[in-house]
A and B are shown apart, each in its own frame.
Chain A
Amino acid sequence: MAVLVVAEITDGALSMDATAKAVTAARPLGDVTVLCIGSLARAAAGEAATISGVARVLCAENALYGHRLAEPVAALIVSLAGEYAHIVAPATTDAKNILPRVAALLDVMVLTDVTAVVDADTFVRPVYAGNAMQTVRSKDEKKVITFRTSTFEAAGTGDPVTIDDVAAADAPGLSEWLEDRVAESDRPELTSAKIVVSGGRGVGSEENFAIIEALADKLGAAVGASRAAVDSGFAPNDWQVGQTGKVVAPDLYVACGISGAIQHLAGMKDSKIIVAINKDEEAPIFQVADYGLVADLFQAVPELTEKL
């Protein structure tokens, strides 16, 4: 049977990293068809067609799918579901919004944040903020899955495959997009960055976050934050790393002024190397850190920036 991968597309641009990782996860399940949905989807479809391992690309370009509202997009995916045994996507906020709706419309369960494929019916997913790994076997005929991208390598690129257009499905007209407030950033995207520098409550203020950003820029890193830092207004919410924010697994994660609550660890403990800088030597973050430094971050972080 075939697998339908719902590509991650924002404002007409394909998120190559997230989509290519979902393709890697999907390949053992069957022939991969990538579905590109948006008010602008043509260019994204062209790019998706170059991902290695993709057999076919479907392009659903229609004004109905601007900003990918859950109701029309879910209706479209359900209209195409017939020939696919697996309908999958990278576990982004977009997919988390849409795929459970698709699953319920098909009367099947959804498997979210899957980290490993055992066989066509059996999958591993973290539960309890990543403190337990559950292997589950689905008894449903169709499997609707979101894959945690941080645990899969991105597929490479090759010669483009065919792109076919698909017609829009009947849309229920229940919702309307009003506005986006996009956080401006020239830095690498948090979930795909090789290095992440994060600040927590210990940073103390929005102004002080500049020292975290300076270190990040020196390393070419993305900037992350703990919930405490976001709640205190030091950093925007889309920087949040953790159980309810983004899950990252970079080569290097530098945690500054972060105590290491269970909920934060859930979002970064699969990083290859973890560095913790904290003045409290009892902070739980030191239990997962490969290199720990007990120090005042206001001295240590600028010094580190200078010496790198």
Chain B
Amino acid sequence: MKVLVPVKRVIDYNVKVRVKADGSGVDLANVKMSMNPFDEISVEQAIRLKEAGQVDEVVVVSIGVKQSQETLRTALAMGADRAILVVAADDVHNDIEPLAVAKILKAIVDEEQPGLVLCGKQAIDNDMNATGQMLAALMGWSQATFASDLEIVGDKAKVTREVDGGLQTIEVSMPTVVTVDLRLNEPRYASLPNIMKAKKKPLDEKTPADYGVDVANRLEIVKTAEPEARKAGIMVESVDELVSKLKEAGAV
């Protein structure tokens, strides 16, 4: 079985974002970018399935600016076999929407015929939490979102999902789309020799036009603003003082 793993290049999760003063967006020029943390978990899971002999090939795909190939190289260094880059934007500030991404992924799935697509549950930039579900819809496949455990048995996948009240286990028919949650695994670091080897692994470059997909946004961004700032707080010296402040404020 082949596994397809979509990965996204996003602002590094440790970076405090800056909203541009003219309200046109978030400043991404000269900011550290990395692989979306949830996607690291899905790459790791795909490699673990390969190591367990349940998967023959791990194909990673990224859609966005040309520099996304660094993200793909990272996935190849972790252990993916081959990469597809779909260059769909020439400016890092142009975020392709989940619907367009899902349509491109559908075309790739039609071509590659994987038995499983492993996505992150959400990208930490647009915080949409939608692409995996949209791909499953377009394919007419089952979906298993927010996975914290995944077991493949024959032509079914048994998936434990992180839901509001606790955990839920479902069984889905393969092929399927699984979106991974934080607690599925601990992603590995790529070693230096593997980073060197990854440079020689195949990376195909494509465009949305190759797949006949229009990447025009359905949502026009009117403006991007800073969230309201909180007013400065005070430091108290003791628990007694804290209790009296809370009582004054009517909080307890």
A10 to chain B, nearest CB (A): 6
B83 to chain A, nearest CB (A): 25
Whether B242 pairs with A275 at a CB distance below 8 angstroms is yes
Against A, the Cβ 8 Å flags (1 = close, 0 = not) of B143-179 are 1111010000000001001111111111111001000
A293 to chain B, nearest CB (A): 5
**Which residue, of B13, B121, B233, has the highest number of chain A Cβ atoms within 10 A?**
B233
Whether B239 pairs with A137 at a CB distance below 8 angstroms is no
Q: By DSSP majority rule, is chain A's interface helix, strand, loop, or mixed?
A: mixed
Whether A180 pairs with B219 at a CB distance below 8 angstroms is no
Pick the contact of A109: B97, B132, B234, B243 (CB < 8 A): B97
Let me know if B200 is at the binding interface, CB within 8 A.
no
Chain B residues within 8 Å of chain A by Cβ, number: 81
- If A100-B133, A262-B13 touch, does A139 touch B220 (CB 8 Å cutoff)? yes
Whether B230 pairs with A132 at a CB distance below 8 angstroms is no
Q: By DSSP majority rule, is chain B's interface helix, strand, loop, or mixed?
A: mixed
Which of B1-9, B47-55, B134-142, B190-198 binds A? B134-142
Against B, the Cβ 8 Å flags (1 = close, 0 = not) of A236-280 are 111000011010000110000000001100000100111100000
Whether B130 pairs with A100 at a CB distance below 8 angstroms is yes
Let me know if A63 is at the binding interface, CB within 8 A.
no
**Docked CA distance A113–B140 (Å):** 25
A135 to chain B, nearest CB (A): 4
Whether A133 pairs with B224 at a CB distance below 8 angstroms is yes
Query: A113 contacts which chain B residues (CB < 8 A)?
Result: 127
Whether B124 pairs with A128 at a CB distance below 8 angstroms is yes
27 inter-chain pairs at a CB distance below 8 angstroms, sorted by A residue, are A67-B168, A100-B128, A101-B133, A101-B143, A104-B99, A104-B133, A108-B218, A109-B219, A110-B98, A110-B128, A112-B128, A126-B127, A128-B17, A129-B127, A132-B227, A134-B224, A140-B218, A176-B171, A176-B172, A178-B170, A180-B165, A231-B182, A244-B181, A262-B13, A288-B230, A293-B239, A303-B239
Let me know if B29 is at the binding interface, CB within 8 A.
no
Against B, the Cβ 8 Å flags (1 = close, 0 = not) of A286-302 are 10111111110000100
Pick the contact of A237: B13, B183, B218 (CB < 8 A): B183
Whether B233 pairs with A244 at a CB distance below 8 angstroms is no
Let me know if A62 is at the binding interface, CB within 8 A.
no
Q: Which residues of B line the A interface, CB within 8 A?
A: 11, 13-14, 16-17, 19, 26, 38, 97-99, 102, 121-122, 124-138, 140-146, 148, 158, 161-173, 176, 181-183, 218-227, 230, 233-240, 242-243, 245-246, 249, 251-252
**Docked CA distance A230–B183 (Å):** 9
Against B, the Cβ 8 Å flags (1 = close, 0 = not) of A157-200 are 00000000000000010111111111100000001000000000
Whether A227 pairs with B182 at a CB distance below 8 angstroms is yes
Whether A100 pairs with B134 at a CB distance below 8 angstroms is yes
Whether A94 pairs with B164 at a CB distance below 8 angstroms is yes
Let me know if A59 is at the binding interface, CB within 8 A.
no
**Docked CA distance A217–B158 (Å):** 37
**Docked CA distance A307–B245 (Å):** 13
Pick the contact of A104: B127, B134, B227 (CB < 8 A): B134
Query: B169 contacts which chain A residues (CB < 8 A)?
Result: 177-181
Whether A101 pairs with B137 at a CB distance below 8 angstroms is yes
Whether A133 pairs with B130 at a CB distance below 8 angstroms is no
- If A97-B145, A136-B221 touch, does A307 touch B134 (CB 8 Å cutoff)? no
Query: B127 contacts which chain A residues (CB < 8 A)?
Result: 112-113, 125-129, 243
Query: B133 contacts which chain A residues (CB < 8 A)?
Result: 70, 97-101, 104
Complex interface residues of chain A between 111 and 168 (CB less than 8 A to chain B): 111-113, 122, 125-140
